[in-house]
Chains A and B, each alone.
Chain A
Amino acid sequence: MVAFMTAQLTKTAGLRRTLRQLAAIAGTTVTESIQQPVAFLILLSAVLMTLLVPVFQFHRFSEDGRLARDSGLSCMLVFGLALAAGTAGRSVAEEIARGTAAAVIGKPVARATFLLAKWLGVLGVVALFWCGVTAATLVSERCSAHFLTRGDFTGYAADPVTLLLAFAGTGIALATAAVRHYMWRRRFGVSAFLGVMASQVLVAAVSGFYNRFGQLYPLVGEAACEGCGGGHAHGAARLVFYHPELNLRVLPVALLVLFALAVFSALATALATRLQTGAALAVCATALLFGLAGDSLWAVAPLLSVRGLAAGLLPDVQHFWLCDAIARGGQVAWRYVAEAGVYALTCCALFLTVGCAVFRERDLG
């Protein structure tokens, strides 16, 4: 009995230690990665490219705001992939080469714990990036010109106030990071990355207090939702002073992109146990290309049943890319998102298992 309890206690102690290790390694990976100027530049590029769409939009496609939304989601996928592969490469491949990984494995840290923690760290960086770009996409779609009919107004109305706020927020975040670095020696990269991300989320949230003509909603009384581009009916009993005119149908689609990025993070982390950053990025980009091209590519070679073969090896990115599904008011069911989440988790588990097996055999000399 005593022996059993001791065994259980050591097990819990072991579990607690493993959890602490996961948190410490993943946390350090996040800090160290977003400290790198390149991480912050990737976020800034994705956010600016998304926000610039309403500024330089000369064409209207089938639907108001669609161009902004689609570019935002594309930026999220492409830049996110670069960020995931780059972060994994730096924090796994380069740490192995530099010997930092050996210093950690020299402690009571299992190799599997190390790799899992690295993946969690990469995922953390990608998730922060995702928050920023998702917010920027929502803002960008809102700021695009929408066709409106309001008592005295008929025509296209953009939302210059929110757009200005979004750009100003980015600028203020950079300035704050510089000041924090100058005054208190806080890490510039970390402050800038988190600041730009937070500024976009904040602007998206604040934009709910006014309509696209910049008029604040009254605190009481009937909702003055005339500028709303959402095209939905507003119940009388809803909050009147806060009305987020954001296309929240983007969220499930963006979440699917995050799942895809999680899968690529796992792939990149596994690859980085053997390959250098550049090579890992190249493999991930190829996987993305093949995964997205899907049937159209394989149709070229109908004789070869490589599709079936590749399906077993590569994640089917098409499951995670549902931009078209929300066109013209379409919805993506949350049930689908949940199923895709399970699929993504399975892919991650597979890649990480293979990664661990490879890493276990590797000499860290």
Chain B
Amino acid sequence: MAMDTKNVIETRGLKKTFLDFWRRPTVEAVKSLDLTVRQGEVFGLLGPNGSGKSTTIKMLLGLLHPTGGELRVLGARPDDMRAKARIGYLPEVSHLHPFLTPRETLRYYASLFGMTRVEAAKRTEELLAMVDLAQASDRAVGRFSKGMARRVGLAQALVNAPELLVLDEPTSGLDPIGCREVKDLVRILAKTGVTVLMTSHLLADVEDVCDRVAILDGGVLRAEGKIAELLRQPDAVRFLIEGLDDEAAESLRLELEARAGRRVRQDYPAMSLETFFLQVVAKEGRARDFALAPFLARPAAGQREGGTCAEA
């Protein structure tokens, strides 16, 4: 099948079999994967542990050599340096030089993109402020907590203002504030036209930010499509009404039942634990002093707050 170069990521029959020392096959991590990620979308790669998500991502970045199949990233092969210069990658585990400080780490990665000292220094300060590490910027990253190292990793992935951002479990190790910030960041980047490919075990996170998802299992693609389409229950409708007292709600339910001629269920949605946590720890704009705040135009989707919810 011909590859469409307009797609940001395109794989056809992609395979990866790991070999042992004697070149005998050990694991078939990815089996004939067809995947398409289009310009400007946020794509979620889901799957249980060991399903081949990270393996796929590493093949996209030219870290692993595919055993078979075709692969195009930004219209080029994964080892094309010009294409790679337009990609940002956050590995599954933040691999950092333990003796460097976050500032040195970011300058180092900036120089790998050929930035001059001045450019690198400027970009570094912006990113440090963005991931909220400006205070810890002179401590060695080797002693950082998991979430702090993750933040450095995230900053490092953005150092070249990438067109394609590949995030392997970006929220792992982050506190709820961090998770929320990452999700906000992904949304903002997507608005500016950046294509994002991310994996995550936190399905709620994926649901919040991704336009399309693919579900891998045992190296095989099991499902793919728009989240809204995949999750839609075509034979049910749900209303959300705020500020209605119990009595009015009950009479409304009865009316609806009479009109529809079917049973109508009524419940009171709780706020999500994430929302609650953010409210508790949001001391004087803690969640908001994240440097992205100016970009945060719309409230997070999927954030369900108090109100009556009726489902038919």
Pair from one complex: yes
B58: contacting residue among A23, A104, A364, CB under 8 A: A364
Binds B, one of A73-81, A106-114, A232-240: A106-114
CA gap between A187 and B99 in the complex, in Å: 9
Query: Once the chains bind, are A106 and B61 in contact (CB under 8 Å)?
Result: yes
CA gap between A185 and B114 in the complex, in Å: 29
Contact string, A28-40, partner B, CB cutoff 8 A, digits 1/0?
1001100100000
A99: contacting residue among B65, B91, B111, CB under 8 A: B91
Binds B, one of A9-17, A162-170, A222-230, A332-340: A9-17
**Chain B residues, CB < 8 A from A104:** 112
Closest residue of chain B to A361 (Cβ to Cβ) is: B65
Query: Once the chains bind, are A364 and B63 in contact (CB under 8 Å)?
Result: yes
Query: Once the chains bind, are A24 and B108 in contact (CB under 8 Å)?
Result: yes
Closest residue of chain B to A21 (Cβ to Cβ) is: B112
State the total of A-B contacts with C-beta under 8 angstroms.
83
Asked if B96 is at the interface of the complex by the 8 Å CB criterion, the answer is: yes
CA gap between A172 and B62 in the complex, in Å: 49
Asked if A52 is at the interface of the complex by the 8 Å CB criterion, the answer is: no
Contact string, B107-127, partner A, CB cutoff 8 A, digits 1/0?
011011111000000000000
Asked if B89 is at the interface of the complex by the 8 Å CB criterion, the answer is: yes
Query: Once the chains bind, are B111 and A24 in contact (CB under 8 Å)?
Result: yes
Contact string, A78-115, partner B, CB cutoff 8 A, digits 1/0?
00000000000000000000111011111111100000
Asked if B64 is at the interface of the complex by the 8 Å CB criterion, the answer is: yes
Chain B binding surface SS class: loop
Count of chain A residues with Cβ under 8 Å from any Cβ of B?
Answer: 31
Asked if B82 is at the interface of the complex by the 8 Å CB criterion, the answer is: yes
Closest residue of chain B to A29 (Cβ to Cβ) is: B97
Given A17-B114, A21-B112, is A108 in contact with B82 using a C-beta cutoff of 8 Å? yes
Query: Once the chains bind, are A107 and B93 in contact (CB under 8 Å)?
Result: no
Count of chain B residues with Cβ under 8 Å from any Cβ of A?
Answer: 31
Asked if A152 is at the interface of the complex by the 8 Å CB criterion, the answer is: no
Q: How far is the CB of B113 from chain A (nearest CB, A)?
A: 7
CA gap between A26 and B95 in the complex, in Å: 18
Q: How far is the CB of B45 from chain A (nearest CB, A)?
A: 17
A20: contacting residue among B87, B100, B114, B160, CB under 8 A: B114
**Chain B residues, CB < 8 A from A108:** 81-82, 84-85, 112-113
Query: Once the chains bind, are B99 and A106 in contact (CB under 8 Å)?
Result: no
**Chain A residues, CB < 8 A from B99:** 31-32, 35, 187
B64: contacting residue among A14, A31, A32, A365, CB under 8 A: A365
A106: contacting residue among B89, B93, B100, B115, CB under 8 A: B89
A100: contacting residue among B58, B63, B96, CB under 8 A: B96
16 intermolecular pairs with C-beta atoms under 8 Å apart: A20-B111, A23-B111, A28-B100, A32-B97, A105-B62, A105-B63, A106-B61, A106-B87, A106-B91, A107-B113, A107-B160, A108-B85, A108-B112, A187-B99, A364-B64, A365-B64
Sample of 13 further A-B pairs with CB below 8 A, known A13-B114, A32-B99, A105-B62? A32-B97, A99-B93, A99-B95, A102-B58, A102-B63, A102-B95, A103-B95, A103-B96, A103-B156, A108-B81, A108-B82, A365-B18, A365-B63
